[in-house]
A and B are shown apart, each in its own frame.
Chain A
Amino acid sequence: MTATSSPVTTATSAAPRTKAAAANPLRRLASEMTRSASGFVGLCLVLAILLISLVGPLIMGTDVPGDPARAWEPPSGEHWLGLEGSGKDTLHLVVIGGRPVLMVGFLAATITTVIAVSIGSLAGYFGGRFDALMLQLTDIVMTVPQIVLLAVVGAFYQLDSPTLLAVIIGVLSWPVLMRSIRAQVLSLKEREFVEAAQLLDVGWVRIVFGEIVPNMASYILINFIIAVTNAIYAMVGLYLLGLAPQRGTNWGIMINDAWTKGAMFNPDAMPYIIAPVTMIVLLQLGLILLTRTLEEILNPRLRDR
């Protein structure tokens, strides 16, 4: 049956594939997103956390008043998640502690993606010595242990700005994505529509960023979200290990704080540990569900299964 099965399967998959690519990709995305339950849950989780972390501080203010006398007070009607070691409202800390995490995640992912896409597509398109040089660069960057480097950098510089942290994470994590972008460009540039654009002399900037890169849009989007989750893990890990200075408020610092203050052994302090951990887990879960569904929607081959 081998000889017959494949032509038939191709015939089956051809019809839905053309339908999948409906006229307006954004509208299609929205409608597909609401149709898949897990994708919808992911989207809601991410939106809810964004809303809490970005709008919350505007309502509740960024200053958290503390009353050390009321340290480790258990949850009550007034303070839903109780108070932490210096008598600050845990819920309030959770709300304002999200912004730096998200900021680092998205900024680092943006830096990673921009570097990976531009270097990857140019290296793939032009090839030659530039390509070889860039591949060597990825080898070097990939061998740098991120955590150790951050620890070293943290030791020499004041790593108090999340922006600097994001830049370091971003600058160190592009090589993997760069290589897969390069590989895709290598195959896309052989497509006839690219040659047609070359014939029309529209210039390499247009060809690379106008004809080739948009064809990888879905892949880039998914990898951007994956980069966000990776950056968040890296950042939280650094704070948890105490490698980044404990200044300001964010979920990573809260966990480290709980750890160092021995909250583990204090049943009343449970909400202080669980709340930031839960937020991080929910955010990551939301992002991962989102990518899974995006992958299914944007890659018709997966969808047909």
Chain B
Amino acid sequence: MPESASGAAPLIELDGASQVFHVKGKDLPAVSDVSLSVGEGEVLCLVGESGSGKTTTARLAAGLAAPSSGAVRFEGRDLAEMSRAERREYRRAVQYIHQDPYASLNPIRSVRSTLSIPLRRHGLARSGAEVEERVDDLLRTVDLTPPESYREKFPHQLSGGQRQRVSVARGLTLSPRLLIADESTSMLDVSIRVSLLNMLTRLRTEEGVGFIYITHDLALAKYFAWEGRTAVMYLGKIVEVGPTPQVINHPQHPYTRALLDAVPEPDPELARQKKAGGGLLSADIPSLSDLPSGCTFHPRCPLAEDRCSQTVPLLSRAPAAPEQEVACMVVTDPRPAAPAGAAGAGGASP
């Protein structure tokens, strides 16, 4: 993978990571062979439907689950082989922000107690006054000002947006270098969502925090990760990845196009133009326990050819968009033409 040309190891790296769940005697490959990396101050957006494996991928990166195969590395060190001290360092550096504001805070804890426990536990603030000061700082960072009106509140006394901010503040207690934010559910008001995204962007640009951002809405990916990369996932695999502006403006994979077409436009003119139903042959995502053969997208794909049900496509450069990698034979290796030479390295053999 060409990411992080700087030479230093990226903050987090998934290398051929897979995660198989065993449910009722069946193997569910939630994530298969995913490789990605994020460095300091970089942003990567994971986009896909529910069931696409984006959340599981993020949980692998956050160390909340261990991969069934492949590796997850933090600054070049494999999580599975870390010493206690290294693990501790990783735990402090990488935080995951749950975005269900109603489930992620302990209902019996005040804001102050939620934020001060990790501070004390990790010795980041020793005296009571120091803890207070840090708590107030954190609340100010997430725009909960003045801090004194929020410190003593319990979750049920806060609005959804405020809870989300507390949740972010808790993620920031250990001064992490990478934040993984899961917004696969978007129950928040638009204005609140935007102010949160703007706050997270500020953390990235001013403090160099790296981000993995999970959403099903490409419009949000476009906004939050414009300067970064976007990876589109389908049934546990990355089907398209590249710089966000390219992926959004020149989508190559038919699934990316369908996702883009599905996003409602806040503009009646544009909205009327795109009423095409996304062009998909079926609205329902296949079950992980019974994956289609070949390219798993072929039963829904408007471009599907015979070979798609036989050969599994691999991520490879798209001839029309050299900055993107696409897992679609129809796009990377059009039928009538000869296999693309240098650019098509790693493409599926016909």
Indicate if A touches B (C-beta under 8 A): yes
Q: Which of A87-95, A163-171, A187-195, A274-282 contacts B (4 or more CB under 8 A)?
A: A187-195
The answer to whether the Cβ of A203 comes within 8 Å of any Cβ in the partner chain is yes
Kindly identify, within residues 179 to 214 of chain A, every residue whose CB is under 8 Å from any CB belonging to chain B: 191-193, 195-203, 206, 210-211, 214
Kindly identify, within residues 224 to 276 of chain B, every residue whose CB is under 8 Å from any CB belonging to chain A: none
Kindly identify, within residues 77 to 109 of chain B, every residue whose CB is under 8 Å from any CB belonging to chain A: 88, 91-92, 95-96, 98, 100, 103-109
The answer to whether the Cβ of A64 comes within 8 Å of any Cβ in the partner chain is no
> Would A21 and B117 count as touching, CB distance under 8 A?
no
Q: In angstroms, how far is the closest chain B Cβ from the Cβ of A26?
A: 13
> Would B117 and A199 count as touching, CB distance under 8 A?
no
The answer to whether the Cβ of A36 comes within 8 Å of any Cβ in the partner chain is no
> Would A201 and B121 count as touching, CB distance under 8 A?
yes
Contact A196:B62 (CB < 8 A) given known A201-B121, A201-B122, A211-B106 = no
Nearest neighbor of A203 in chain B, beta-carbon distance: B121
Specify which of A21, A203, A217 is in contact with B154 (CB 8 Å cutoff): A21
The answer to whether the Cβ of B64 comes within 8 Å of any Cβ in the partner chain is yes
> Would A195 and B91 count as touching, CB distance under 8 A?
no
Q: Which one of A18, A193, A197, A211 has the highest number of Cβ atoms from chain B below 10 Å of its Cβ?
A: A193
Interface set of A (CB-CB < 8 Å, partner B): 18, 21, 23, 191-193, 195-203, 206, 210-211, 214-215, 217
Contact A193:B104 (CB < 8 A) given known A201-B88, A201-B92, A203-B121 = yes
Query: What is the CA–CA distance of A303 and B144 in the complex, to the nearest angstrom?
Result: 34
> Would B106 and A199 count as touching, CB distance under 8 A?
no
Interface set of B (CB-CB < 8 Å, partner A): 62, 64, 88, 91-92, 95-96, 98, 100, 103-109, 117-118, 121-122, 154, 156-157, 167, 170-171, 173-174
> Would A200 and B64 count as touching, CB distance under 8 A?
no
Nearest neighbor of B170 in chain A, beta-carbon distance: A196
User: What is the interface of chain A mostly: helix, strand, loop, or mixed?
Assistant: helix
Specify which of B98, B107, B108 is in contact with A195 (CB 8 Å cutoff): B98
Which residues from chain B contact A201 at a C-beta distance below 8 Å?
88, 91-92, 118, 121-122
> Would A192 and B104 count as touching, CB distance under 8 A?
yes
> Would A215 and B121 count as touching, CB distance under 8 A?
no
Specify which of A18, A191, A203 is in contact with B103 (CB 8 Å cutoff): A191
Q: In angstroms, how far is the closest chain A Cβ from the Cβ of B63?
A: 8
Specify which of B92, B98, B100, B108 is in contact with A215 (CB 8 Å cutoff): B108
